[in-house]
Amino acid sequence: MSYVKRQFGHRAQFLLLVFIIISGILFLTGCAAKQITPEIQAYDRRVMSQPTSLSVPSENSEEVWSRAQQFIATLSSFRIQTATDYVIQTYMMESSWPKYGYSVTRTTSGDRTNFIVQCFCTNMFSKDRANYNAHALAHYMITGEVIDQRINR
């Protein structure tokens, strides 16, 4: 084997080793940056305990409806397509990347107003994240509490 071929082989091995080490450092750094604080864990528990079918006194319905519009307008991957007194719905476009759209419906029954919150994802592997977003929207509608960084976009 010639000297040039041996040198090339050693350099290729060295570059592969450097690449593996840098990739490992970046991977570990990325994992370390996603530490979840006790406050965020508590928020996630509150979010997931909020049902996506809501019933509120009719006198509070406008505030709840307004929060739904605000959340969707600012935190959805897609723009609002329909916003009436009874439906808020975003556009849904095909995408290979996970993107999230929403639908909220409102009905009145006596002195109560009922809401149904749904979140849709363009990627079938991200249904759990879409479910989390639906609960987060419902939680925001009732409480006004949201941590923007927890919303999947």
pLDDT at residue 22, as a whole number: 78
Q: Mean pLDDT across the stretch 64-87?
A: 96
pLDDT at residue 61, as a whole number: 97
Does residue 37 belong to any structural domain of this protein? no
- Taking 60 as the threshold, does the pLDDT of residue 107 lie above it? yes
Does residue 56 belong to any structural domain of this protein? yes
pLDDT at residue 139, as a whole number: 98
pLDDT at residue 31, as a whole number: 45
Q: Give the domain CATH number at 98.
A: 3.30.310
Overall pTM > 0.85: no
| Alpha carbons 38 and 41: distance in angstroms, whole number | 5
Q: What is the mean pLDDT of the chain?
A: 88
Number of domains in the chain: 1
pLDDT at residue 19, as a whole number: 75
Summarised one tens digit per residue, pLDDT across range 15-26 is 777 778 876 675
